[in-house]
Amino acid sequence: MAEHKLNINGNQKTVNVADDTPLLWVLRDHLKLKGTKFGCGIAQCGACTVHIDGVAMRSCVLPVSQLGDQKITTIEGISEEGTHPVQEAWLEHDVAQCGYCQAGQIMTATALLNDNPNPSDKEIRSAMTGNICRCGTYTRIKSAIKTASKKL
């Protein structure tokens, strides 16, 4: 066990965990931030996506010891009231069905729009390809990203 100081959603947090503990489990089990989900455990589905210094990354395979003072943003840090344009567009387009993958989808979409405020359909597909939605709401996801891009 080692002490790790993390910058999560703009707040300094300290946790005592093994160096190889994935960030996902630090967030969920130690900090009680339950928005980031476990999906596959091998960085293939996107349910665990968070931002590390603004870049969408899979927290299930990211050892806490590699983070240092990097800025970590979870779905809870996007907007306290759920009023980020991507979150609002998700509601407007009724994207979520079961909802399990949606935090990861929103985190990936937000990172995309931060880098590219007006993505083409092809750029959206490319950015979102690694995020799996078992309910198949991909068309709604694309529409919501287009809507959000107009509000940013």
* CATH number of the domain bearing residue 26: 3.10.20.30
**Domain boundary pick from 34, 63, 78:** 78
Please check whether residues 70 and 100 belong to one and the same domain.
Answer: no
The secondary structure of 14-81 as a DSSP string is EEEE-TT-BHHHIIIIIS--TTS--S-SSSSS-TTEEEETTEEEEGGG-BGGGTTT-EEE-HHHH-TT
**Domain boundary pick from 78, 96, 121:** 78
* Contact criterion met (CB below 8 Å) for 73 and 106: no
- pTM for the predicted model, two decimal places: 0.96
Number of domains in the chain: 2
pLDDT, tens digit, 9 for 90 and up, residues 86-129: 999 999 999 999 999 999 999 999 999 999 999 999 999 999 99
Nearest to 71 by CA among 55, 60, 59: 55
Please check whether residues 71 and 34 belong to one and the same domain.
Answer: yes
Nearest to 42 by CA among 62, 21, 66: 62
Please check whether residues 71 and 94 belong to one and the same domain.
Answer: no
Residue 80 has pLDDT above 90, yes or no: no
pLDDT, tens digit, 9 for 90 and up, residues 65-77: 999 999 999 999 9
pLDDT, tens digit, 9 for 90 and up, residues 9-59: 999 999 999 999 999 999 999 999 999 999 999 999 999 999 999 999 999
Residue 19: per-residue pLDDT: 98
**Residue-number span of the structural domain to which 116 is assigned:** 85-151
Give the span between the Cα atoms of 38 and 41, in whole angstroms.
Answer: 7
1, 47, 97 from 57: Cα distances, Å = 24, 10, 24
**Domain boundary pick from 22, 51, 78:** 78
